[in-house]
Each structure stands twice: as C-alpha cells, then as structure tokens.
C-alpha cells in the first residue's frame, strides 16, 4: 500500500512528472533558440517563470463566473497528471495499468482543450472568445485522426491498454513498422493538440494577443502553463509507449530508454515548431480532414485486415 502511494506521488508519478516536464520545457526552449541562432534560457528559467507567475496578483474579469474561472485551471492540470499514471516509465508496467487505459488517457487529454475553450468563452473578452472558438475548431480537426492513430496499434495488438500494446510490440519488433503512418499522424496531431507551431492559431500572439487565456494571470495562469508543459511530457510518453515499444526487461535500462525516446519525440516536435510558419485555422482543418484522416482510416483498415489474416 505504501509502495503504491509512493509510486503515485513520487516516482514514477507526480513528482517525476513535474521535474521531467520542466526538463523537457528547458530542452524545448533551448533547442528552439539554438535553431534560431539565439543563446536560449538558462536551465532554471522554466521553474523561475512558474514561480514568478504563482507570486503575481490574480485579476478576475468582471463579467466572468468567478467559480468557473478559478476551477478550470485545476481541472485541466488534474486531468493531465492523472493521464500520466497510465504511461509506462519504469519498464512496460505503468503506475496504473488496466484494460482500456488508452481510451481513458485519450479522454483525459481532451479535458484540457475543453477547459481552454471554457476559459476563453467564460472570460467574455474579444480576444479570449476568438481564441476559445479557434481552440474548439482545431479540436474538431485533429481529434479524429489523433484517436485513430493511437487506436490503430491497439487493434493489431488486441489490447486497449498502453502496457498491453507495448508488451505486444516488444515481443514482435518488426510489427512496429506497420504503424509508421500512424506514428507520423500521432506526431502531427499531438503538435496540433499542444497548439504548437505550425498549429498555434488558437493562441497567435500577433493576431489575438494570447488566445483563450489572455485574461488569466497569477497562479491560475501558472496552472495552465503547468498543464501545457505536463501535457507535452504525457503526449511524448504515450507516443513512446505505443509506437516505440523497445524494452530490455531491466528497469533501470528501460527507464534510460524511456528518457531517450521521449527526448527524441520532443526534439521532432521542436523541429516542426522551428521550421514551419503558422498556418490559418481553415488550412489546419483542410489538412487534417483531407490528408491525415484518410491515412488514419487506411491504417485502421490495414491493421484490421492484418489481425484477421495473421490470426492474432
């Protein structure tokens, strides 16, 4: 019982998520700066920014519902840290693993996006309202290919558990190549879900100041920022567990592999962010529905046929 509590609270649970999220944010910002021929921030900058926000005054909009305005950041962060408990970190076994946890994780990761929309809409301000509806519109674009990309490997593996999927492909490494299109779709849709360039229209500073969260300040904004950096870690962890299931059976070695895999995923996301310009929201919709969704459907059909043909 005590060991389980320590796993949830310390490692590989919430404390690890907080520390590693700051590390990945630093890597994200540092590599992004170097690719733009800038020096970039010092290693402690992500933590310093968060502490500064927590210490600042909270300003509540007059027209906003105060309870909803204050509760949304906490709900958003709680959903993300709960989802992380289902991601394999120390070997293939997650802190909380059960049949169907992949579906639960995808559901939990939808909550922060909905909280962003409600936060902007509840603020009753022009820029926040525009950002809120852009967030919701973009969600309608990426959700279908995102879900299909993650569920396709699950179909072939015959398991709706991230741990079960990882175990299936770890025993059959060549099968990983079958899901390569889904892997690429997962990377692109995750970039959109995290509202990172080129899919950052919902928070475009040059157009709508800061999007749905423009009215947030102080600790509430800090909670939303913590949600964003934690969500990056969770997405990288789930992608690594589903699409890069390489394990040795040794906990320490597998943890080192986890760090390598998540670093690699984040570096690819930084590359996309640094090399591509923002695209319009209508272009985002067209790209996801016209290109990624058909490919994701084809991947699901292929995996269904393979599962039936191979008798898995």
The candidate with the shortest Cα–Cα distance to 190, out of 234, 223, 131, is 234
pLDDT at res. 10: 84
Q: Is residue 155 part of a domain?
A: yes
Number of domains in the chain: 1
User: pLDDT of 68-93, one tens digit each?
Assistant: 999 999 999 999 999 999 999 988 88
Residue 282 lies in a domain: yes
For residue 311, being part of any structural domain is answered with no
CB 138, CB 195: distance < 8 Å: yes
Give the pair of three-digit tokens for residue 132.
Answer: 């809120």
DSSP H helices, 36-110, are 45-55, 66-84, 101-108
Global pTM reads: 0.94
Q: Which long-range contacts (CB under 8 A, 24 or more apart) does 203-207 make?
A: 203/131, 204/278
The domain in which residue 80 lies consists of: 2-304
CA-nearest of 123, 15, 114 to 59 is: 123
- Which parts of the chain have pLDDT scores under 70? 310-312
Going 198 to 199 to 205 to 207, the CA torsion angle's sign is positive
In a domain, 312, yes or no: no
- Residue 309 in any domain: the answer is no
Please write down the HEC assignment for all residues of 193-229.
Answer: HCCCCCCCHHHCHHHHCCHHHCCCCHHHHHHHHHHHH
CA dist 308 and 166 (Å) reads: 20
Burial class (CB in 10 A: 0-12, 13-18, 19+), 160: middle
The SS3 assignment for 57 reads coil
pLDDT number for residue 71: 94
Q: What is the pLDDT of residue 12?
A: 83
In a domain, 310, yes or no: no
């Amino acid at each position: 019982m005590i060991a389980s509590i320590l796993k949830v609270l310390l490692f590989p649970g919430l404390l690890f998520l907080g520390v590693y999220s700051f590390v990945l944010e630093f890597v994200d910002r540092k590599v992004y700066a170097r690719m733009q021929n800038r020096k970039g921030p010092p290693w402690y900058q992500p933590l310093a920014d968060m502490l500064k926000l927590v210490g600042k005054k909270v300003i509540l909009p007059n027209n906003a519902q105060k309870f909803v305005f204050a509760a949304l950041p906490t709900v958003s962060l709680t959903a993300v840290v709960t989802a992380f408990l289902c991601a394999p970190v120390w070997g293939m076994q997650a802190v909380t693993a059960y049949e169907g946890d992949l579906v639960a994780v995808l559901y939990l990761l939808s909550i922060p996006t909905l909280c962003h929309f409600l936060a902007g809409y509840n603020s009753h301000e022009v820029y926040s309202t525009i950002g809120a509806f852009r967030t919701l519109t973009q969600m309608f674009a990426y959700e279908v290919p995102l879900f299909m990309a993650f569920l396709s490997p699950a179909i072939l593996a015959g398991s709706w558990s991230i741990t079960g999927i990882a175990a299936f492909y770890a025993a059959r490494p060549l099968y990983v190549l079958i899901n390569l299109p889904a892997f690429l779709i997962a990377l692109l849709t995750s970039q959109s879900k995290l509202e990172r360039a080129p899919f950052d229209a919902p928070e475009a500073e040059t157009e709508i100041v800061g999007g749905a969260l423009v009215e947030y300040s102080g600790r509430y904004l800090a909670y939303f920022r913590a949600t964003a950096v934690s969500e990056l870690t969770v997405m990288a962890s789930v992608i690594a567990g589903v699409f890069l299931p390489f394990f040795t059976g040794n906990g320490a070695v597998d943890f080192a592999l986890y760090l390598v895999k998540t670093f690699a995923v984040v570096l690819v996301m930084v590359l996309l962010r640094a090399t591509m310009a923002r695209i319009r929201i209508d272009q985002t919709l067209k790209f996801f529905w016209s290109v990624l969704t058909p490919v994701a459907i084809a991947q699901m059909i292929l995996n269904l046929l393979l599962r039936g043909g191979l008798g898995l």
